[in-house]
Structures are given as structure tokens and as C-alpha cells.
Amino acid sequence: MQFFQKLKDLGPGVLVTAAFIGPGTITTCTLAGANYGYVLLWGLTFSILATIVLQEKAARLGLVTRMGLGEAVRQQFANPAMQYLAIALVLSAILVGNAAYETGNILGAALSLEELSGLSTIPIGNLNLKIWGPVIGLLAWLILELGSYKSLEKFIIGLVILMSLTFITTAFFIQPDLWAILKGMFVPAIPEGSFVFVMGLIGTTVVPYNLFLHASAVQERWKSASDLGKARTDLSTAVILGGLISMSIVITAAMTFHGHAVSITGAGDLAEQLEPLLGNWARIFMSLGLFAAGISSAITAPLAAAYATSGILGWKAGFGDLRFKLVWRSVLLIGIVFSLLGYKPIQAILFAQIANGLLLPFIAIFLVIVMNNKKLLSVHANNRWQNITAIIVVVVAIALGLKSIVSLL
């Protein structure tokens, strides 16, 4: 009963989880497990801890100052040159990252409808245009136009719980090697060719735009710094639940695909890992799961971009503000347009996760700087241990980002 009460009490933390349990997580975790078994689970262990460390700071900032991260960054840098540089970095990171992420979200959800309908494109002149991407994008548009924060929160909580029960149950059902799982979780290893998947696992979990979304969302749920304990419990519960989902996907994929020459290109291929539990229903459920994950992330990504942009430019953040609406509409429109152009969903999704991993250090550094501002946060500014844990996360993120750039070059 206590467990179900905790699920019922979930709040803004579940938006963080919903944002990273999207098609990108399902795809990236499946590919990681299929190619490398349990070896890369440590990347998720790091990512879960890093997410809790950074998102706690975002929640504390929002509750104590009643400001979003973008607004706090703007106030932190009084020097005009530094302020313009901060604005340029935040806007480029959030808008570029979210546009890539949104394309992956829409394409991932579109995979589900392709699998269920057997139809993927329609010919228009000399072009074969993808049809389901725009459908997903327009549905997300409609939900954002009509919804309020509270209704979105409840809708997304239901989707996350559904995904949790299925993947975690499947992972237990197939009886994996527990010792190999523990070794993979806590012994870092990067086999040849696996680095892109390590970056993908981190990029799909420690999502930069979630820092902006969370700092603003906690203000909708709680009213003062006295609620910090509730916010931390909410965050930890939701993120650990999301981490268990991600690890379960890696485990089920490892058991199903690792050591076999398989090509994973669509929802039907992804569904094979659920067959031990769901049998012939696996393809239908994976399609519905991809749809649920895609639509929830397709909602949170534009919303986070709107909160970040409004804060850094000093606009009013809220569903009733026209400029706020124009930002999320623009990000969603970019996702819809790119989903029309025939990009391969799996590759587009993986690229979005890597882009997130590269953008993370910039946003994390801004967050750490702001959280040490005692004039802004008073007794709630970072203490020594909070700084140490944050710096470790930033250093690891920078090192991985630099290695990724070197690899690409």
C-alpha cells in the first residue's frame, strides 16, 4: 500500500522520468544490450546518480528562488558581455538539442503506428513522405494547446507506470545472470566500438533541458523551500523508477539479442525482447509503449524549451503567454518537418542522445555556478559535498564529451 501511495504522490519528478523514458531510451538501451550485453550498465548507474544530483539542484533553485534556471542564469551574469554569452549558449544548447530530441521522439512514436498499420509513407509528386510523424506531432500540439500542467502531469504518470510494470516484469521473468548484471552496473568498461553507446545512454538519461523543466515545474506543485523534502523524495522515487526501466530494457535486449546477428530497424525488432512475457502480444505492446513514450517526450521537450527560453530572455513563463507558446510551437514544428523527410528513425534517435551528451556540460556548469550564489539562495546554496558531487558529474560529462568529439573528428 505504501508503494502505491508513493506512486500516487509522484509529481514533477515524473516529468523528468517521462522526458528520458522516450523512444530514445528504448532504442538506445536495446542497441546497447544487443551489442554489448550487460557490460554498459555502469553507464546507466552513473546516469541515474548524475540525474538525481543535478535535478535536485534545479528543484532547490525553483523552490527557494521561485525562478526558473534560465532566469537565474540571466541574473547571475550582470556583465552584459557575459550575459549575452550565457544567453547564446543556453538558447543554442536548448533549441538545437530539443529540436534533435523532438525529431527522435516523433519518429520513435511513428514507428509504433507504422508497425500497427503496416503503412509508413504516402507518395506526393516525386516524394514519398512519412505520414505518421506529422500525426504524432499534431497530437502533441493538440494536447499542449488544450492541457494544463496538472492534467499533463497525471497523463504522463500513467504512461510511465505502464512502461515500468512491463519492462521490469519481463526482466525478472527471463531470469538473467544477476552476478553479470551487478558487474556491469558497477565495473566501468568500454569495449571497442561501444563509446557511442555509452554517450547515448548518458545522453538519453541526463537530459539538459530537464534542468529547466524541473526548476519551473516544482513551482507549480509546491509553494516554498519548506517542501524541499517532498521534492527530493518525489525526484529520487521517479528517477530510480526510470533507471530501473532503462536497465530492464538493456537486460531484456541482452538476453534476446546479444550474441546473435540481428538488425534492429523497427518496432517489430524491438518487440522481440518482450516475447518471453507477452508472446504474440509483444509487438502490439511494444508499439503502444513506443507510442506512449514518444508522445510523452514529444510533449515535455517543447515545454522545457519554452521554460528555458522564457527564463533566459526574461519573459513570463506560462501556458497563457504568447511568446511561451511560440517557442514550444516552433520546436514541435521543427520535429514535425524533419519527421516528414524520411530520416531513419533508429539513427535519428541515437544521434539525439549523443547530442544531449555533448550539450550537458555547458548547462551543468551554469547550474553549479548559480547554485553557489549565496545572495540568491542564502542557506540553501550548495555546500561542500553538493559541490563535490556536481563537479564530479561535470568533469565526467566533459571528459566523455571531449572523447566523443575526438572520435568524430
State the pLDDT at residue 268: 60
Tell me the Ramachandran region of residue 175: left when phi exceeds 0, alpha when psi lies from -120 to 50, beta otherwise.
left
Alpha-carbon distance 232 to 215, whole Å?
A: 12
State the pLDDT at residue 147: 65
User: Residue 7 in contact with residue 156, Cβ under 8 Å?
Assistant: no
**Nearest residue to 311 via CA among 299, 323, 294, 298:** 323
Paired residues of 123 in beta bridges: 128
What helix, strand, coil percent values describe the chain, rounded to 5?
A: 80, 0, 15
Strands (E), 220-324: none
**Nearest residue to 170 via CA among 285, 40, 45:** 285
Enumerate residue ranges in the chain where pLDDT < 50.
Answer: none
User: Residue 309 in contact with residue 327, Cβ under 8 Å?
Assistant: yes
State the pLDDT at residue 383: 94
User: Residue 76 in contact with residue 373, Cβ under 8 Å?
Assistant: yes
Chain position carrying cell 548547462: 363
State the pLDDT at residue 316: 79
Residues 6+ away with beta carbon under 8 Å from 406: none
Alpha-carbon distance 248 to 202, whole Å?
A: 16
Say whether pTM exceeds 0.75: yes
Residue 392 is which amino acid?
I
> Residue 339, CB half-sphere, CA atoms under 13 Å: how many?
30
User: Residue 60 in contact with residue 207, Cβ under 8 Å?
Assistant: no
Provide the Cα torsion 15, 51, 396, 203; round to 10°: -30
Alpha-carbon distance 209 to 82, whole Å?
A: 21
Other C-beta atoms closer than 10 Å to the C-beta of 347 total: 13
State the pLDDT at residue 124: 65
CATH architecture of 2-379: Up-down Bundle (1.20)
Which phi and psi angles does 175 have, rounded to 5°?
50, 70
Which phi and psi angles does 142 have, rounded to 5°?
-65, -40
Alpha-carbon distance 397 to 205, whole Å?
A: 12
Q: 290 to each of 11, 21, 24, 105, 152, how far by Cα in Å?
A: 22, 10, 10, 9, 18
**Nearest residue to 121 via CA among 104, 106, 134:** 134
State the pLDDT at residue 2: 55
